[in-house]
């Protein structure tokens, strides 16, 4: 195929679906993966009709340790290779660490951390060989500020993705592979509906803190094209990230302790 292929995880809605449309609008074929096959097929059909590119629906569950291999096998079955990888799949796990099960926490780590590292590791050599590649790791503003009570591993995994992306960025400066961590704040998507905090965040957070999924994905696309290692979309989020850098640690942690119940479910 003359066109390059972009693989997007968590593509059935929100930021993932927005990334799929943006990449398709720039001439990429897209491989869409998530658990909901009906959503993927509908989006693939829309993209083919709207943008005139190929779109493949590859249903898979990245909480399954075999999920990454299943996704890549779906790409290979189409005779394709991955030129762009958007690691977007993710969710929040409400509750404190002690009151949640290890089975749930283990699945969370598989989706949020292990599958990201595995996918990146398996597609990166081909990108380097072809002297072209783009990897976007959808992290979060939560990875740039102190952790909050509840959703215990969320900020930890997002902070990992920031450091991971920075290292990959530096390792590949001369290879033609661009790597960026996208760190959005509160984004209009299904994220808070799925984790049961929609009413909580809608009532307690001002509208100016929120961005649309399309705006977030557009910022991520621009950042990885420019090979910026970290992208924080939106002026309010940039301000919060900057303040978190300069505040003394104990002040920042106290602030998070005071405000965390506005957006975390303990």
Give pLDDT tens digits for 119-171: 999 999 999 999 999 999 999 999 999 988 899 999 999 999 999 999 999 99
Tens-digit pLDDT profile for residues 226-256:
999 999 999 999 999 999 999 888 888 888 7
Structural domain count, the chain: 1
In this prediction, residue 192 has a pLDDT band, given cuts at 50, 70 and 90, of: very low
For residue 74, what are the CA distances in angstroms to 78, 118, 243? 7, 16, 44
Q: For the beta carbon of residue 137, count every other beta carbon within 10 angstroms.
A: 28
Q: Do 40 and 58 touch, CB atoms closer than 8 A?
A: yes
- Which of 28, 154, 188, 221 is catalytic? The answer is 154
In this structure, of 91-95, 169-173, 193-197, 217-221, the range with the lowest mean pLDDT score is 193-197
Shortest CA distance to 158 belongs to which of 220, 208, 214, 111? Answer: 111
Q: Is 197 helix (H, G, I), strand (E, B) or coil?
A: coil
Q: What is the CA radius of gyration of the chain?
A: 18
Q: Output the domain CATH number for residue 253.
A: 3.40.50.720
Predicted pLDDT of residue 247: 87
265, HSE (Cβ side, Cα atoms, 13 Å): 15
| Known catalytic residue at 188 | no
- The reported pTM is 0.90
Structural domain containing residue 115: 5-262
Q: Is 14 left (phi over 0), alpha (psi -120 to 50) or beta?
A: left
Check whether 184 has a pLDDT greater than 80. yes
């Amino acid at each position: 195929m003359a066109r390059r292929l972009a693989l997007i995880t968590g593509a059935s809605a929100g930021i993932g679906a927005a990334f799929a449309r943006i990449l398709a609008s720039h001439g990429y074929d897209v491989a869409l993966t998530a658990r909901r096959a009906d959503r993927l097929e509908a989006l693939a059909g829309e993209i083919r009709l709207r943008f005139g590119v190929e779109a493949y629906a590859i249903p898979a569950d990245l909480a399954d340790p075999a999920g990454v291999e299943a996704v890549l096998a779906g790409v290979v079955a189409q005779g394709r290779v991955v030129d762009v990888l958007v690691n977007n799949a993710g969710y929040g796990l409400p509750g404190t660490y002690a009151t949640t099960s290890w089975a749930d926490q283990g699945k969370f780590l598989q989706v949020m951390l292990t599958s990201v590292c595995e996918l990146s590791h398996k597609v990166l050599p081909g990108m380097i060989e072809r002297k072209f590649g783009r990897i976007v790791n959808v992290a979060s503003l939560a990875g740039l500020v102190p952790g909050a009570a509840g959703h215990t591993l969320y900020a930890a995994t997002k902070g990992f993705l920031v450091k991971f992306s920075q290292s990959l960025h530096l390792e590949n400066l001369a290879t033609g592979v661009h790597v960026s961590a996208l760190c959005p704040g509160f984004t209009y998507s299904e994220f808070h509906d799925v984790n049961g905090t929609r009413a909580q965040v809608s009532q307690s957070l001002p509208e100016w803190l929120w961005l649309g999924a399309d705006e977030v994905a557009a910022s991520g696309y621009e950042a990885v094209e420019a090979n910026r290692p970290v992208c924080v979309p939106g002026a309010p989020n940039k301000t919060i990230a900057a303040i978190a850098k300069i505040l003394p640690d104990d002040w920042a942690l106290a602030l998070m302790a005071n405000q965390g119940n506005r957006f975390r479910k303990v």
